[in-house]
């Protein structure tokens, strides 16, 4: 063990020696490759059918609908497996595109996947119906008599439940736990659908390459979930043995939770990353919370800072010292690793100060490389600002504060908006800067919109928003 | 960068679809030659066919007068091998009379699941009439009844081989 210097923790070794530009090129190459693999997996699914000689069976309208039904089923299932991989928090994906973008795509795919599966059922009923001269409704009975169809229907019903409860309008009506439990059923839905894919139809028949590929996809998706959502977090939680040390109130509704554990530096958490925490006390164990580190971990100590927003976070701040904490992560690319440009610009508001502070702490900076703007509506909201000031001083960064009620149609204070402050006047080197924005969602989006309007390219904008 | 990913996705997708189509065309062509060939070795058969293949090879029916019409085929009823399909076994017998296919009788039909019985009931007479017309097992399969058709035609081909029927 060497001597620890708590104010200058080791910077993550990955890509440390590369320039931001080179790191960015590598990261975007990986990201593009992942995007291509994700989208091409759909056509590959359709190709499985083509390669089995399926087109030769298309002779009339009935067989045409049947073929279309098979293809929609294949692509729909491919999308669902893709969604599992995206939700599995695979480190490679998280490092390349970030957890929030992965989950964003996961959400976007939900409805199309469901529609494809429903179309699969409907088209096959129509296709079979036309081929045998019956109407599609009359096909429902015989179709259910096919092997493994009952489980497939149950799987579809579960899928409908999962997607419907995830629609924004519906999701708001129920507590998080209800949505979460229903969402877990998607694993069952995926597994229930598998037998009928393998036993009915020729595309995935026994002994074909298609069958091997398809089972491989399933193994990949389920394996990713089991390893990265279950096994790795369980092991890490056990190995690092994190417990609550104390809860410290730093403003009327914001508390820092100090944690102790074993070898926490080995978590490899970069400044600005978050972990998904679960506190094992009576009132909190059933709910996990994604919370940013508000300081880089040292060997024995880590710190998170939370704002009390509802019952869940209220209970969180009431945990007793010694409470066991399990976690998954760290996740996110609101970090030094996502840098693309020579200069660093940070804008943070409210609780968004937490990852911004850790980011500043975790960045290797030349004097004058970074500029920080902290924003709050009232003096009550200036928690962690003193730490930010000290850090900025130590890192040779310039720090601006902007306090006061928000101006109309702006993310700035009334006072500063009126005297003509702009993003460019705060960050004169904006074009050569990476802009990191962190704060309440609406506000953060306003800053990003302003940056886009100023002509800042997309890859230089880094957003971490907190839903309020 | 996003454009690069999008372009690559489109190109790769097109490539994958074309490759799939090509493989499919090759598979389909291979299937046609198989059914018009010797008719042995059903590709869809599973382990169970080893025994059924040998037991059903014997032909019933007495050999009648041969060569009357110039065809080398023997007259009589010839059982085809049992072909395993995903929906159950399929077996037909060919009735040869005067060197011609006079009839095709279904001995075992796919019966797993109500739907396949329905398909089979419907497809069998259609296949029979096609076969009688073409005087060959080399006819196209019935849409929506691919497995039943392939089983039917494969079993028939093996029966015709036993009869020495060459068409």
The pLDDT of residue A322 = 94
How far apart CA A403 and CA A13 sit, in angstroms, is: 37
Strands A433-440 and B88-97: unpaired
Tokens linked to B132: 């009688």
Q: Are A56 and B24 in contact (CB under 8 A)?
A: yes
* Per-residue tokens: A460: 């230089």
User: What percent of chain A shows pLDDT beyond 90?
Assistant: 55
Question: What gap in Å lies between CA B82 and CA B38, rounded to an integer?
Answer: 16
B119 touches A: beta carbon within 8 Å: yes
Q: What is the dihedral of CA B141, B146, B150, B152, to 10 degrees?
A: -90
The Cα of B139 is separated from the nearest Cα of chain A by a number of Å equal to 13
d(CA A293, CA B74): 87
Q: Which residues of A touch B25 (CB under 8 A)?
A: 53, 55
Residue with tokens 């028939």: B156
For the sheet with A370-376, list strands across it.
A398-403, A370-376, A343-349, A433-440, A461-466
For the entire predicted model, the pTM comes to 0.75
Question: Smallest Cβ distance to A143: which of B9, B115, B122?
Answer: B115
Cα separation, A333 vs A272, in Å, equals 8
Residue B150 — very low, low, confident or very high, per pLDDT cuts 50/70/90?
confident
pLDDT at A26 over 70: yes
> Three-state SS for B109?
coil
From the candidates A68, A146, A197, which should be mutated to test the interface with B, based on the most B CB atoms within 10 A?
Answer: A146
Report how far apart, in Å, the C-alpha atoms of A129 and of each of A10, A73, A199 are.
67, 18, 21
Share of chain A above pLDDT 70, in %: 94
d(CA B138, CA B35): 6
Which of A253, A356, A376, A350 has its CA nearest to residue A307?
A253
Cα within 13 Å of Cα(A414), Cβ side:
6
Mark yes or no for CB contact A31/B1 under 8 Å.
yes
User: Which DSSP category does A197 fall into?
Assistant: H
The bridge status of strand A433-440 relative to strand A461-466 is: parallel
CA distances from A95 to A30, A31, A89, A369 (A): 9, 9, 10, 24
Q: With beta carbons under 8 A apart, name residues in chain B contacting A53.
A: 24-25, 27-28, 31
SS3 of residue A420 by DSSP: coil
Q: Which is it for strands A324-331 and A242-251: parallel, antiparallel or unpaired?
A: antiparallel
For residue B143 the two structure tokens come to 């849409």
User: Measured between alpha carbons, how far is residue A58 from residues A61, A64, A117, A141, A196 in Å?
Assistant: 8, 5, 21, 24, 22
Per DSSP, the three-state class of A372 is strand
Searching chain B, which residue's CA lies closest to the CA of residue A128? B144
Structure tokens at A268: 């490899």
pLDDT tens-digit series, residues B9-58: 999 999 999 999 988 888 777 655 544 433 333 333 333 333 333 333 33
**Residue A207's closest chain B neighbor by CA?**
B44
pLDDT higher at A55 or A182:
A182
Query: What pLDDT, on a 0 to 100 scale, did the predictor assign at position B140?
Result: 78
User: How far is C-alpha B164 from the geometric centre of its chain's CA atoms?
Assistant: 18
Report how far Cα B43 is from the mean position of its chain's Cα atoms.
10
Phi, psi of A404 (to 5 degrees): 140, 160
What tokens does A341 get? 């440009």
DSSP A128-152: HHHHHTS-HHHHHHHHHTSTTHHHH
Taking the Cβ of residue B11 and every Cβ of chain A, the question of whether any pair is shorter than 8 Å is answered with no
- Per the document, the length of chain B is 167
Instruction: Give the count of alpha carbons within 13 A of B94, CB side only.
Output: 35
Average pLDDT, chain B: 71
Residue A262 is predicted with a pLDDT of: 95
Query: What is the interface pTM, i.e. ipTM, of the complex?
Result: 0.77
Q: What is the predicted pLDDT for the residue at B49?
A: 33
Rounded alpha-carbon distances, angstroms, from residue A244 to A6, A231, A300, A411, A449 = 19, 23, 12, 36, 39
State residue B115's pLDDT score: 54
> What does the alpha-carbon distance between residue A444 and residue A449 come to, in Å, rounded to a whole number?
9
* Distance between CA atoms of residues A226 and A205, nearest Å: 27
Q: How far is A418 from A50, CA to CA, in rounded Å?
A: 64
pLDDT at residue B64, as a whole number: 39
Residue A256 CB neighbours (<10 A): 21
Q: How many CB pairs under 8 A join A and B?
A: 113
Tell me, what DSSP letter sits at residue A285?
Answer: T
Distance in Å from the first CA to the final CA of chain B: 63
pLDDT digit string, tens, across residues A103-149: 989 999 999 999 999 999 999 888 888 877 667 777 787 777 777 88
Q: Provide the token pair at A141.
A: 């009975």
pLDDT of A99 strictly over 90: no
Peptide bond into A77 cis (omega under 30): no
Q: How far is A207 from chain B (nearest CA, A)?
A: 9
Q: Rounded distance, CA A217 to CA A230, Å?
A: 19
Query: In which band, very low, low, confident or very high, does the pLDDT at A54 lie, cut at 50, 70 and 90?
Result: confident
Structure tokens at B86: 């995903």
Give A-chain residues touching B114 at CB under 8 angstroms. Answer: 141-142, 145
Q: Tell the residue number behind the tokens 């993550």, with chain if given.
A: A12
CA distance B56 to chain A (A): 24
Strands A370-376 and A398-403: parallel
Q: Is the pLDDT of residue A230 over 50?
A: yes
Smallest CA–CA distance, residue B20 to chain A, in Å, is 4
């Amino acid at each position: 063990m060497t001597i620890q210097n708590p104010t200058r923790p080791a910077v993550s070794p990955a890509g440390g020696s590369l320039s931001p530009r080179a790191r960015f090129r590598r990261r975007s190459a990986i990201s593009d490759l992942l995007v291509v693999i994700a989208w091409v997996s759909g056509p590959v699914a359709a190709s499985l059918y083509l390669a089995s000689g399926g087109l030769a069976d298309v002779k009339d309208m009935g067989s045409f609908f049947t073929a279309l039904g098979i293809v929609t089923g294949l692509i729909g299932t491919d999308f669902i497996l893709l969604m599992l991989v995206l939700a599995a928090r695979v480190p490679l994906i998280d490092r390349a595109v970030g957890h929030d973008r992965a989950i964003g795509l996961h959400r976007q795919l939900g409805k199309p996947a469901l529609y494809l599966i429903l179309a699969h059922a409907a088209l096959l009923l129509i296709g079979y119906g036309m081929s045998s001269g019956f109407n599609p409704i009359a096909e429902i009975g015989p179709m259910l008599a096919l092997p493994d169809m009952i489980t497939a229907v149950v799987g579809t019903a579960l899928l409908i439940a999962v997607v419907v409860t995830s629609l924004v309008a519906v999701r708001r009506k129920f507590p998080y736990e209800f949505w979460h439990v229903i969402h877990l059923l998607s694993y069952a839905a995926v597994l229930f659908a598998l037998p009928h894919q393998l036993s009915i139809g020729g595309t995935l028949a026994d002994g074909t390459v298609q069958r091997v590929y398809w089972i491989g996809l399933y193994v990949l998706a389920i394996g990713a979930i089991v390893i990265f959502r279950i096994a790795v977090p369980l092991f890490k939680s056990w190995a690092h043995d994190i417990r609550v040390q104390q809860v410290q109130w730093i403003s009327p509704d914001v508390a820092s939770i100090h944690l102790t554990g074993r070898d926490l530096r080995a978590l490899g958490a970069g400044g600005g990353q978050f972990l998904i925490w679960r506190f094992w006390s009576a009132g909190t164990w059933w709910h996990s919370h994604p919370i940013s580190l508000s300081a880089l971990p040292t060997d024995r100590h880590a710190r998170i800072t939370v704002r009390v927003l509802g019952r869940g976070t209220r209970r969180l701040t009431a945990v007793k010292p010694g409470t066991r904490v399990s976690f998954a992560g760290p996740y996110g690319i609101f970090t030094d690793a996502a840098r693309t440009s020579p200069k660093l610009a940070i804008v943070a508001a409210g609780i968004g100060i937490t990852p911004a502070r850790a980011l500043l702490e975790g960045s290797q900076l030349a004097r004058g490389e970074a500029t920080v703007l902290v924003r709050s509506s009232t003096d009550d909201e200036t928690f962690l600002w003193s730490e930010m000031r000290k850090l900025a001083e130590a890192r040779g960064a310039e720090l601006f504060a902007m306090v006061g009620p928000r101006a109309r149609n702006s993310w700035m204070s009334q006072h500063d908006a009126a005297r003509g402050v702009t993003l460019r006047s705060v960050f004169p080197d904006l074009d050569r800067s990476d802009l990191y924005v962190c704060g309440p969602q609406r506000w953060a989006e306003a800053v990003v919109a302003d940056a886009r309007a100023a002509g800042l390219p997309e890859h230089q904008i880094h957003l971490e928003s907190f839903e309020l | 960068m996003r454009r690069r990913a999008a372009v690559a996705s489109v190109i790769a997708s097109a490539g994958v679809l074309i490759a799939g189509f090509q493989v499919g065309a090759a598979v389909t062509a291979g299937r046609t030659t198989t059914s018009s060939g010797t008719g042995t070795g059903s590709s869809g058969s599973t382990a169970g066919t080893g025994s059924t293949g040998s037991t059903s090879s014997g032909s019933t029916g007495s050999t009648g007068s041969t060569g009357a019409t110039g065809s080398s085929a023997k007259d009589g009823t010839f059982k085809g091998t049992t072909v395993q399909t995903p929906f159950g076994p399929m077996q037909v017998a060919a009735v040869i009379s005067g060197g011609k296919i006079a009839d095709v009788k279904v001995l075992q039909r796919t019966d797993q699941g109500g739907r396949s019985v329905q398909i089979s009931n419907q497809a069998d007479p259609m296949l029979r009439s096609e076969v009688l017309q073409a005087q060959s097992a080399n006819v196209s399969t019935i849409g929506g009844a691919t497995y039943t058709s392939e089983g039917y035609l494969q079993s028939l081909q093996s029966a015709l081989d036993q009869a020495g029927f060459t068409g």
